[in-house]
Structure 1
Amino acid sequence: MRILLTGATGLIGQALRARLGATHEIVTLGRREGADIHADLSDPAAVAALDLPPIEALLHCAGVIDEDFRDDPQRAMTMAVFGAEALVARARASGAKRLAYVSSAHVYGPMVGTVNEVSPFNPVSNYAIAHFATEQVFRRFVDGEVAALALRPCAVFGDLADPDRFRRWSLIPFSFPREAALDHRITIRSTGEQRRNFVGTDDIAATLAAWLAAPPEGWSAINPLGTFTGTVFAFAELCAEIAQELTGKPCTVTRVRPEGPTMGDDYNYTSLSPLAHGKQDPRVVLTRLMTAALEE
């Protein structure tokens, strides 16, 4: 296929480009220098005027992040709804019949109880509402010949192609290994008993590649699963263990002492899709992230 890919230099987009570029023709769209097509989703009119080449699929990995809402909430929501709508409309006009969007598990609401693809939606934060809205934009374009997908990962880890441009250091899969390697101490500002599924970017890319290869089936959603499911505290302990192996120095993990049940300690993020089960080893990626931090 010829695939239009947004967010190709981002955390997930770079993994998609690497995985799919071997068998598909990738055309990139974005704001940064080096993109094949320059466009800014915060300017829907400009996106609507784009002259795209013929394409067969759109993979949208440039969804809004928490930092976008911190910096400019109105711009972020414009990107998520009207920018995405203009993008999908242009992609359809250029022939795309497969439309995929990397969303978030936050569309299900607070991370409690068992969640799968048929769980009710309850987006609460602006970030979650924006991802839900973008999903609905994609869903609107589904018809007899067009299939669309929403991927809803929980906690994503992966390699960073350009750490200097990475904006999400506060996320657990990146803050914990960095603290462990550089400070020999990880500080959890809660009990750490909240459960998460940690999924690698390579597993997300593999799930999307499998979806592209499968027969189209209208609208679908997948919770891509990683190999590591556990508490935030357990993930911190894994990071501490790896850091000690790398540096030879002990790494401590501090947290609020649990004195009863913690909201989210029952979180069971699951999937009904046979495409969702991953293989990526977080230990390998965490080791590379820590090594890179130590070499800075």
Structure 2
Amino acid sequence: MLPPVFRFAPSPNGRLHLGHAYSALLNFDLARRSGGRFLLRIEDIDQTRCRPEFEAAIYDDLAWLGIEWHEPVRRQSEHLELYRQAIDRLQAAGLLYPAFESRAEIARLVAAREREAPWPRDPDGAPLYPGEGRRLSAEQRRSRIDAGAPFALRLDVAAAQQMTGPLDWQELGAGPGGETGTVIAEPQRWGDVVLARKEIPTSYHLSVVIDDALQGVTEVVRGQDLFWSTSVHRLLQQLLGLPAPRYRHHSLVLGDDGLKLSKSTKATALAELRAAGLTPAAIRDQLALPPAT
């Protein structure tokens, strides 16, 4: 039996904070205790927000915490052609369609519909796609694309589910509602998710399942905020013939306001904690993790 493979996959669009430290240390500890491998992946597909100095800081912070990883580090920006090939496969299967509405137009469509009745929202609270992209004819789509209109490629989730049938995953941790064991996948809760855009040939959902498969990841250990995203990931794995890893979703590190720590809310960075005199042992203690062995 091959040893298990774990991974930590941050985006270099800001400084790591305690929430990242918890996930990275948990993955690293589980890998060491099981005799497995720990991989580091840099999820840098969003070139407008990802910066080299943030990537360098990730390496520094992890090394300071005592975390070691197997080389080479996988950087998503170096593998865009692989994601494009997967998009081509899904398009050939008739499962993708271009949607041309901007975010502002989608917001106006949702507002108009909510004057009649509440509009459905995904597990993150965002409204489901309300546009007409799926109903456009092939000629209408080609005309707009040829005219240079920006678009997003969305997955026709209903058609995809008809192709795959029911799906589930093995949960070794727990979801936000305590879900564990065999969990039924519900990708329809996300509506027709975006898998690529005109300028970026992939999305988080698509690249993460391809990377996990190509890197041989067997254990996905990540925060509960991504629990229901696993439904979409299982759908894509089945459509693309990729193996399904085991999942272990962990509780989130919360701030004083009771909300999860986030780069966007300027959560205190690990570098700031280090500058204030905290040690890696103190970080582990603060996160209720056992001492390093």
TM-score range, shorter chain: under 0.3
Q: Which has the higher contact order (CA 8 A, sep 6+)?
A: 2
- Structure 1-normalised TM-score? 0.25
- Structure 2-normalised TM-score? 0.25
